[in-house]
């Protein structure tokens, strides 16, 4: 299970536009639902829909639940803090 601090850092990096660093942290915690959700959002931002949908399925989330990735990253951030 990924540490809450690492996941918050990864989401903060994604919000700041540092896709590569956020992606590296997400990959390092593969299998954690929040990390997999972040991985899905990052691939959505990248425009890699197929890969993004794969990670949404792994995270148990819907690809179409959010149309705005900034809002989705904020929701992910809030969900990690609520854990």
Q: What pLDDT was estimated at residue 83?
A: 81
Q: What is the CA radius of gyration of the chain?
A: 11
Q: Which residue range(s) make up the domain with 26?
A: 4-82
Q: With 0-12 CB in 10 A as exposed, 13-18 as middle and 19+ as buried, what is 71?
A: exposed
pTM of this structure: 0.94
Per the CB < 8 A criterion, the answer to whether 80 and 21 are in contact is no
**What residue has token string 């639902």?**
33
Number of domains in the chain: 1
The pLDDT tens digits for 25-70 are 999 999 999 999 999 999 999 999 999 999 999 999 999 999 999 9
Please check the confidence at residue 1 and state whether its pLDDT lies above 70. Answer: no
């Amino acid at each position: 299970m990924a540490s809450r601090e690492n996941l918050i850092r990864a989401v903060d990096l994604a919000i700041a536009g540092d896709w590569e660093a956020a992606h590296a942290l997400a990959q390092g915690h593969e299998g954690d639902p929040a990390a997999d959700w972040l991985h899905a959002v990052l691939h959505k931002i990248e425009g890699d829909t197929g890969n993004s949908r794969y990670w949404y399925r792994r995270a148990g989330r819907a690809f179409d639940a959010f149309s705005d990735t900034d809002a989705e990253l904020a929701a992910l951030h809030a969900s990690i803090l609520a854990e």
